[in-house]
Amino acid sequence: MLMQLKNEILLILNVFLVSEAFDQNSIQNDDELIVPVNVKPIEYRMPGTKWCGVGSTAKHFNQLGRLSDLDMCCRDHDICDSIERGQEKYGLSNSNIISKMHCRCDREFRECLKKINSKVSNTIGRIYFSVQKICYKKEHPIIKCKKKNFFSLFWSRCAKYETDKSKPAKYQWFELPYYYDPIDCDAFKDDKQL
């Protein structure tokens, strides 16, 4: 019990160390979020997994930990399309300390964790979707947020956007829902519908 509490505290500490200084206005101006490239997060892995944490300890793709269903969710998420810290891709720049994922990858990760529906998978989901605030995908240019989902009185994220359908789709940042938010949000709308 004490070891589990210690691991959860380390995970939460790691989450806050790698979390970005984020406000609702920075989603369109992510260039303002500058993090030194040499800052590294604390190495932490969820016990019983090889893929759920910072990096992977697996020696090959098919090597999974004791919690194999959970590890498959994390592995598939880890190898999905992302913009690594300090990199540019699709005209977007990630100056944050943690990778930013394609919205499809985060949607599939969330669905996978919820399908397992264990204490551990739901804990990972709550932590990940509290820390990871944005994802990217191709969509018509965002004009403004039309609807927010509120986590608390002070914390909210955009669920529905007004977009300019007269302009061509482009890659841009979208706010992710919290883990227990309804799935009906524009970040998780399939961008193949364009």
Residues carrying an active site annotation: 77, 106
Q: How far apart (Å, rounded) are the C-alpha atoms in residues 34 and 36?
A: 7
Instruction: Answer for the pair 95, 30: CB distance below 8 angstroms, yes or no.
Output: yes
Nearest-angstrom CA–CA distance, 13 and 151: 21
Task: State the CB neighbour count (10 A cutoff) for residue 150.
Answer: 12
Q: Distance between CA 110 and CA 66 in Å, rounded?
A: 20
Longest dimension (CA), the chain: 57
Strand 156-163 and strand 142-150: the pairing is: antiparallel
Element (H, E) at 127: helix 119-131
Structure-token pair, residue 16: 């806050």
At which residue do the structure tokens 């004490």 appear?
Answer: 2
Where does residue 106 rank: exposed (0-12), middle (13-18), buried (19+ CB within 10 A)?
Answer: buried
